[in-house]
Amino acid sequence: MKQTLNMSLLTLAGALTATVVMLAFSDAAQGNSDAKPSAPGSKAATRTDAQKQIDDGRQIFRFDTFGDEAFWGDTLRLHQAIAGQNNGGVGPGVSPKTALAVGLKVDAEALPAELQQQLRTGGVNLDDPATTVALLRLGAVVGVKGLFDSSGNLKSMGVTCALCHSTVDDSFAQGVGKRLDGWANRDLNIGQIISLAPNLRPYTDLLGVDQATVKKVLASWGPGRFDALLDKDGKAFRPDGGQAGTVIPPAFGLAGINLHTWTGMGSVPYWNAYVAVTEMHGSGTFFDERLNNSARYPVAVKAGTANVRNTPDLVTEKLPALHVYQLSLAAPKPPQGSYDAAAAARGQQVFSGRAKCATCHVPPLYTEPGDNLHAPSEIGIDSFQAERSPTGKYRTAPLAGLWTHQKAGFYHDGRFATLLDVVEHYNRVKQLALTEQDKRDLVEFLKSL
Ligand code: HEC
Ligand code: HEC
């Protein structure tokens, strides 16, 4: 404990450090034991430490690539496709209009006032990839970090957690506004973005297929989806030919919930390490013996994903703050007027009563305290995605903030386009005999969470 605190004091930087340390000394000198921030476990020390973890975690979540530019930029050369041949890259480049169309978001607060003004008055060329490069230079493209050489040319790029798990409030323009951390970016067409890369060799080599096949898989996901198991089990499509990606879930409202991901693969820090190391291709450590199974995870076995020990490890030391930050993100409440309050109140009765939804979606977590997993048959769906997971099950999806992710569908693969479709599904498979009004009320309740 003491060592940790000393460590965290050591790592505190800048003016804040000086203030905290000065306060600690002056309190001690005055014999004011209550206010001693250095007393481990005291209210003040805990608060200071928690605040620092949240602040550090936000930085990591928004801006840390964990060194993954070695993959996205140096290897795939995605930055060259973005810049285009007129800006030192290849091909036509990606204009801001195209970037917004594939769901990338722009952080308006990262734009200098004059640029904001020019944007408002139409003085910025949104058809020119050079503008995209300028936005990257300003760090204004959410979740994408451009790296520049000394003469100002884009030399590489990396991605951060915010790429998929943040959006913006559109307060400036469509796709341009203040950051909303933790919100699932259901506009983002990740597959389309990756397929722009001049070099797809890492995927063709790993999966043992040609480039056309890789592109076909990337095109199959569509907006808001990504397949975080493809590079483990090599299952690019469902047996019925459907796409095999899962919809991006929110990274808010996670506190108090046991297992995470659609199939409950592990805890938040488990998954953070999994993603940072094996999906974003950051440089770090990841261990999961369950993946060391050539029958289920042939691609993971080939790539050695069950036991990754990259040096330097740019991930492990960041897991605590990243975890705390995600736990600090509460699910946002729906805007007033976005649902019918009287219907929602009736829907709540149906949810907890006749429809028995609350047996699994236990309020206020809306998942089970405990082992929150279910056999596919319990929710009346096929086992394809469950069986791709070591758990073989589906995790009871937490429902708070549901209203923020109504695009790209509900359930792990977005199979239900609307909340009414979800309710109809339960009504059918669980033979709930709900009336039309019950169904409408349930939907209003779900929109109110
Ligand atoms: C390329 C898009 C992408 C990036 C980048 C990404 N994620 Fe995710 N994330 C997903 C998808 C898709 C899932 C759902 C995976 C599944 O269940 O199949 C997910 C699931 C999660 C979950 C589980 C949420 C829940 O309720 O179960 C957490 C937590 C999470 N991601 C955090 C992170 C963090 C932290 C980072 C950065 C280290 C990150 N993600 C980077 C796409 C992404
Ligand atoms: C047996 C436990 C169980 C019961 C009962 C149950 N659910 Fe679910 N629910 C789940 C699981 C598991 C998932 C995740 C499905 C998946 O991953 O595809 C889920 C997903 C959902 C989703 C989709 C969430 C999202 O982010 O896409 C909604 C909405 C939902 N349930 C509402 C309800 C309603 C309404 C009822 C009652 C009519 C209900 N559930 C009853 C276990 C249950």
Ligand 2, residue 413: give the atom nearest the CA.
Answer: 18
Amino acid sitting at position 438: D
CB-based contact 81:196 (threshold 8 Å):
yes
- 249: burial class by Cβ within 10 Å (0-12, 13-18, 19+)? buried
Partners of residue 179 on adjacent β-strands? 168
Distance from the CA of 447 to the center of ligand 1, in angstroms?
Answer: 23
Pocket of ligand 2 (CB under 6 A): 262, 355-357, 359-361, 374, 378-379, 394-397, 399, 410-412, 419, 422-423, 426, 442, 446
Tokens of 134: 């300028």
Domain assignment of residue 9, yes or no = yes
Q: Which ligand is nearest to the CA of 423?
A: 2
- Cβ-based neighbours of 28, under 8 Å, separated by 6 or more: 36, 38
From 244, 226, 247, select the one nearest 235 (Cα to Cα): 244
Q: Which pLDDT score, from 0 to 100, does residue 39 have?
A: 86
pLDDT digits (tens, 9 = 90+) for 60-71: 999 999 999 999
Domain assignment of residue 61, yes or no = no
Q: Which pLDDT score, from 0 to 100, does residue 40 have?
A: 86
Asked whether residue 341 carries a pLDDT value surpassing 60, the answer given is yes
Ligand 2, residue 247: give the atom nearest the CA.
Answer: 27
Domain assignment of residue 122, yes or no = yes
- Cβ 246 under 6 angstroms from ligand 1: yes
CB-based contact 285:313 (threshold 8 Å):
yes
Tokens of 330: 């509460």
- Cβ 217 under 6 angstroms from ligand 1: no
- In this prediction, residues 403-415 reach a mean pLDDT of 98
Distance from the CA of 248 to the center of ligand 1, in angstroms?
Answer: 7
Rounded to two decimals, the pTM is 0.92
Partners of residue 237 on adjacent β-strands? 243
**Which residue's alpha carbon is nearest to atom 9 within ligand 1?**
248
Asked whether residue 338 carries a pLDDT value surpassing 70, the answer given is yes
Q: Report residue 371 CA to chain centroid gap.
A: 23
- Cβ 203 under 6 angstroms from ligand 1: no
The domain containing residue 153 runs over which residues?
69-223
What percent of the chain has pLDDT above 70?
92
Domain assignment of residue 303, yes or no = no
CATH number, domain at 409?
A: 1.10.760.10
- In this prediction, residues 53-82 reach a mean pLDDT of 98
Asked whether residue 16 carries a pLDDT value surpassing 70, the answer given is no
Mean of the per-residue pLDDT values of the chain: 93
Q: Which pLDDT score, from 0 to 100, does residue 413 have?
A: 98
Statement to judge: residues 200 and 158 lie in one domain: yes
Ramachandran area for residue 219 (φ above 0: left; ψ -120 to 50: alpha; else beta) = alpha
Statement to judge: residues 40 and 109 lie in one domain: no
Pairing of strands 373-374, 394-395: antiparallel
Asked whether residue 58 carries a pLDDT value surpassing 90, the answer given is yes
Q: Is pLDDT larger for residue 24 or for residue 415? A: 415
The residue behind tokens 């091909």 is 91
To the nearest 10 degrees (0 to 180), the angle between helices 341-352 and 436-447 is 100
Pairing of strands 373-374, 307-309: unpaired
Sign (positive or negative) of CA dihedral 415, 262, 313, 231: negative
| pLDDT-derived band at 36, boundaries 50, 70, 90 | low
Amino acid sitting at position 30: Q
Domain assignment of residue 262, yes or no = no
Q: How many residues does the chain have?
A: 449
Statement to judge: residues 434 and 409 lie in one domain: yes
| End position of a domain, from candidates 190, 223, 256 | 223
Statement to judge: residues 359 and 216 lie in one domain: no
**Which residue's alpha carbon is nearest to atom 5 within ligand 2?**
357
- In this prediction, residues 359-375 reach a mean pLDDT of 98
Distance from the CA of 398 to the center of ligand 2, in angstroms?
Answer: 8
Q: Is pLDDT larger for residue 31 or for residue 165? A: 165
pLDDT digits (tens, 9 = 90+) for 281-331: 999 999 999 999 999 999 999 999 999 999 999 999 999 999 999 999 999
| End position of a domain, from candidates 189, 223, 257 | 223
Domain assignment of residue 322, yes or no = no
H or E element, residue 307: strand 307-309
Distance from the CA of 344 to the center of ligand 1, in angstroms?
Answer: 30
DSSP string, 136-162: HHTT-BTTEEEEE-TTS-EEEEEE-TH
CB-based contact 9:20 (threshold 8 Å):
yes
